[in-house]
Amino acid sequence: MSKNHNVIPFPNKYEIKKDKYIKIRDEVEKILFKYAIGEKDLWAVSMAAGRFAAMNLQKIEGDKKSLEFFENCIATQKKTEKLSDS
């Protein structure tokens, strides 16, 4: 069988959303880090961002999914630390 090269593939909506969310995450992290450097207070900025995230995620997703999200973030950070220690 030959491939039909005249077929335009449908956009993959999952990949489009994933790419969008990664871009937003990276941009927000850069903004927060720059703000933390400017204020010389990473803890305060982290607490403010965490509070914002926790309160809004709980409204949007509920308790269980919100806590799972934060647990996943912590697990990801621990994995990153182990890799950098190697």
pLDDT, mean of each 10-residue run, the chain (86 residues): 71 90 97 98 98 97 96 94 84
- 56: domain range? 13-85
Residue 53 lies in a domain: yes
Buried b (16+ CB within 10 A) or exposed e, 18-54: eeeeeeeeeeeeeeeeeebeeeeeeeebeeebeeeee
Residue 39 lies in a domain: yes
pLDDT at residue 8 in the model: 81
Instruction: Please give the tally of structural domains in the chain.
Output: 1
Residue 1 lies in a domain: no
pTM of the model: 0.74
66 part of a folded domain = yes
